[in-house]
Structure 1
Amino acid sequence: MTGTEPSDEVAQLVSKAVGGDQAAWNEIVERFGRRVWATCRAYRLSQADAADVFQQTWLRVLENLGSLRDPARLGAWIATTCRNEALVALRRAKRATPVGQTWLLDRPTGPEEAPERPFLIADRDAELWSAFQRLSSRCQHVLRVLVVEAEDGRPSYEHAAEVLEMPIGSLGPTRGRCLTQLRQFLTEGINGAGA
């Protein structure tokens, strides 16, 4: 994307996506997805780190879409968010690089070939579910319906509103608050583990 999208059109897409319009969300991802990948490539991230940054960027967009001060500048906000996530990934990778043992670096770099990958995924998932269990039952139910049990990874706001007995317009803000709390629990767990 070149950043030349008409600002009114982008603001309308944001408004529709916040209101639960799946087609608007898909359009946002379609418009800005290449920009996110290009940013990941510009930082020369590994394939695995680039995939993580891509997903984390879209999670941040999803969490903050309804609270953007200037929805028309969504593209710039996404680019900044992706750069910040890429820098976090680079710092993490730098901390994990062994010094003086270059033979450890001579291994396959593909994410599917890394022998530790299943253990890292299991550890990440355990941390996530542990934090998830700390959420209120309402937040657990909302996130389960909108994220975990979403068909094909895409939540149906109509279905969620019916199951949760909530107005469609309150699903996004509720989900956002629950995700913020989940992130806080995850951050506490990471900081607590390092202490």
Structure 2
Amino acid sequence: MTESGTDAAAPERRGRVSGRAEDGWTDARLVEACLSGNQAAWAALVERYARLIYSVPRRYQATPEDAEDIFQTVCLELYNALPRLRKVDSLRSWLMTVASHASLAWKTARTRRGHVVDVDDADPVRLSTVDRDLLEDVERDQLVRDAVRSLPERCRELVGILFFEQPPRSYKEVAAHFGLAVGSLGFIRGRCLQKLQKALREAGIARA
């Protein structure tokens, strides 16, 4: 890890899914590797949940600069909490809770001039219906990203290029990237989307 343990590029500046071996690891394996000082594992863990973390303050209409501050706060909380995380399977929910606490603190401090609210003061019980709806949207987005990450490597890369890259590439450029004819790309795209649809159904966010 870096000296601070939390050095990471802003999520909106990140590219598509990388091809690192650690990207296919479970959260538990990543956390274990992080605790042993594996810098690549820490980078992969932050990369995996960067958009989830960053999207929470953005849903609260935080400025990009404030959202970046909240993102770094959550990453620091995660880094400090790694040794005592007991339920790694609940890491996504834990991150959403910490991000919502920090976002609510920012929101409260913004409306109370001169008053700084600690993260721990933001009680999740006080979440409004709107707040809960926002978090449900955030969690759904992360489930979609998890489903994409579960795809075979070529499908994961293809879906990332076609649907997540900005600015989007033309079909001709994508076909050239994979060394395929444009006509073949459509067939492979269909196969990959079928696999993605299956993964989304298994995650409970698509109809059977």
TM-score over 0.5 (shorter chain): no
User: In which range does the TM-score fall when normalised by the shorter chain?
Assistant: 0.3 to 0.5
Report the TM-score when normalising by structure 1: 0.44
Report the TM-score when normalising by structure 2: 0.41
Q: Which one scores higher on RCO, CA 8 angstroms, separation ≥ 6?
A: 1
